[in-house]
Structure 1
Amino acid sequence: MKLDVITLDAGKAGSVELSDDIFAIGEVRADLLQRAVKWQLSRRQAGTHRAKERAEIARTGKKFGRQKGGGSARHGSRRAPIFVGGGKAHGPKVRSHATELPKKVRALALKHALSSKAGSSSLIVLDEARLDAPKTAALKAQFAKLGLTSALIIDGETLDENFALAARNIPHVDVLPAQGLNVYDVLRRDTLVLTKSAVEKINERFAAKESA
């Protein structure tokens, strides 16, 4: 598929050929996208929540009442979970929430995410994402010309420092290098913006995976 290339000033800068195997798969599979997003978010969970169990409570273990005749149930320790201040029964433990997802499924999900943006006309190709100075107001005005209010901008191997500094103060706009392209960030923004360098890196990325 062919797409027009534009500049930050909304001017035309030729066109670029996008691979149909990456950007025009056809029917987008929501199940693959869901699995990829779940895999990403599960790896971000800290899993550091923890509660003390009975053996970790700093309380005496001495039997505090008579075995019989006290008028209440028999108990041997105030550290038991039924008492206020006692240990937590089956409480949370430090663990990893990460799940597994095969590399081929991850790659296919990313293709479907890219295809979903291309299929809904929510994909823009920029000539380059560079600024002479890190001016947020100027960049915001350029985004207004392009109609960008919620966008993920993917550049080449490295980001232009001025562009990244100017864009980080604009709400609902994310800027990532090509190696940071992922399903979750593609889906969470309304528009996907790729530079020509990003398109080359994406093609190289999938070519390397298919040859592996």
Structure 2
Amino acid sequence: MKIKVQTLDAKAAGDVELNDEIFGLELRTDILHRVVNWQLANRRGYARAARERSDVARTGKKFGRQKGGGTARHGNRRAPIFIGGGKAHGPRARSFEQSLNKKIRVLGLKTALSAKAKEGKLIVLKDLELKDAKTKVLRDQLGKLGITSGLFIDGDTPANFRLACANLYKVDVLPVIGANVYDILNHDTLVLTTSAVEKLEARFNG
């Protein structure tokens, strides 16, 4: 698959040949669904446990008389009705982490890249070099490229570009090693640099 390369100023800068084994796969929504669920589940933090009767350090000595005190019978300060006592039926510690076969994860990323390419929402740029870290300048350049919601993936993102896009809504930057299915699908346009294309192909072929 051949796609044209552009600059940030929306000028032509040649062509690049994309590997069909990475950018030309059939859409597999089931694979994408599994990978996204796996990503979101693993982002969740652990559920914290409350301390129950067996977890608090309070006396178990009986206080007061069994009868004649005019109050209920108690024999343990760890009871939930007392201040400092254990919580009754509190939340338990729980991990939401899931496991997913590496082959499925790799196939999911390739499928996400292929989906953007087939939808015509994949743009390849020569580089992300900016003279100055100016958000307004970058916004105008993205307007020329027709990008309102874009994920930029580069081998080594220049500092000026990272600073310029920091305040732009739905415009994010990732290194090649951080490319993932959820972020790719969560943006309308996927923007790769020629360096990112080379590193992605090397990553899958290696």
> Could you say which TM-score interval applies, normalised by the shorter chain?
0.7 to 0.9
Deviation at 1:165, TM superposition (A): 1.1
Partner of residue 119, structure 1:
118
How big is the shift at 1:46? 2.4
The within-5 A match list for 1:188-207 is: 188-207=186-205
Question: Taking every aligned residue pair, what percent have the same amino acid on both sides?
Answer: 58
158, 165, 174: which one pairs with 2:172? Answer: 174
Pairing 1:63-212 to 2, within 5 Å after superposition = 63=62, 76-81=75-80, 86-156=85-155, 158-208=156-206
Partner residue, 1:22 = 22
Shift in Å, 1:77? 3.2
Q: Deviations over 1:28-76 (max 9, x none)?
A: 2222112212222222222152312113346554446765789998654
- Equivalent position SS for 1:54: coil
Paired residue for 1:44? 43
> Where do 5+ consecutive residues of structure 1 fail to align?
none
CA distance in 2, matches of 1:85, 1:100: 39
Label 1:72 to 1:115 Cα distance change in 2 as closer, same or farther (>3 A). farther
- Residue of structure 1 equivalent to 2:10: 10
Q: Residue 170 of structure 2 aligns to which amino acid in structure 1?
A: H
Question: What 5-or-longer segments of structure 2 have no aligned partner?
Answer: none
Quote how far apart the aligned CAs of 1:79 are.
Answer: 3.0
**SS of structure 2 residue aligned to 1:55:** coil
Q: Secondary structure at the match of 1:154?
A: strand
- SS of alignment partner, residue 176 of structure 1: strand
Shift of 1:16: 1.1
Aligned CA RMSD, in angstroms, stands at 2.4
Q: Deviations over 1:162-184 (max 9, x none)?
A: 11111112111110111111111
Q: Residue 92 of structure 1: CA displacement?
A: 3.2
**Cα separation, partners in 2 of 1:50 and 1:127, compared to 1, 3 Å:** same
Query: What TM-score, normalized to structure 2?
Result: 0.87
Aligned mates of 1:149, 1:161 — CA distance in 2: 21
Partner Cα separation in structure 2 for residue 71 and residue 33 of structure 1: 66
Q: 1:123 to 1:79 in 2, by over 3 A?
A: same
User: How many pairs align?
Assistant: 206
Supply the distance in 2 between the matched residues of 1:30 and 1:38 (Cα, whole angstroms): 12
